[in-house]
Amino acid sequence: MGPDWYCHDVIPGTVRVEVLARTANTLTFRPPIPGFGTDHVIVIPTRHVSSLLELDDELAVELLAAVKQAAAQVVALHGGCQVLTTVGDEQHNKHLHWHVAAGAGVARFVAR
């Protein structure tokens, strides 16, 4: 496992991100280099949680509310979005994070 970009750089502010929302336990932001989509938002817990499988129920409620708020904002701007998290070998950074993305570059499961 490589370094935890969220714990080491984003949360302490070492790397500059566009903060969209913050609660006591969550951070919603646009990364400096979008990973996919024309609009790319990331939602994370501000304390280390390695993956969805390690998430406690209390934080899950607050985190899902932040994801829901981010998705609503992206849908208002673009008409739709994709919400994604990964676990296990598919997870490139072992800090739970949700991608909220829209536009070119996201997977298309249905034709427009």
Q: What is the pLDDT of residue 111?
A: 60
Instruction: Report how far residue 82's alpha carbon sits from residue 100's, in angstroms, rounded to the nearest whole number.
Output: 6
Instruction: Report how far residue 34's alpha carbon sits from residue 21's, in angstroms, rounded to the nearest whole number.
Output: 17
Task: Give the mean pLDDT of 38-61.
Answer: 96
Q: What is the pLDDT of residue 110?
A: 62
Q: What is the pLDDT of residue 71?
A: 98
> Does 108 reside within a domain?
no
Q: 104: closest CA among 47, 35, 51? A: 35
Mean pLDDT for the chain? Answer: 91
> Does 65 reside within a domain?
yes
- Do the beta carbons of residue 65 and residue 71 sit within 8 Å? no
> Does 111 reside within a domain?
no
Greater confidence (106 vs 60) lies with 60
Q: What is the pLDDT of residue 93?
A: 87
Q: What is the pLDDT of residue 1?
A: 43
* Local confidence band at 66 (pLDDT 50, 70, 90 cut-offs): very high
Domain of residue 45 covers 5-102
> Does 112 reside within a domain?
no
Instruction: Report how far residue 69's alpha carbon sits from residue 65's, in angstroms, rounded to the nearest whole number.
Output: 6
Q: 87: closest CA among 98, 103, 74? A: 98
Q: What is the pLDDT of residue 2?
A: 57
CATH code of residue 24: 3.30.428.10
Provide the domain count of the chain: 1
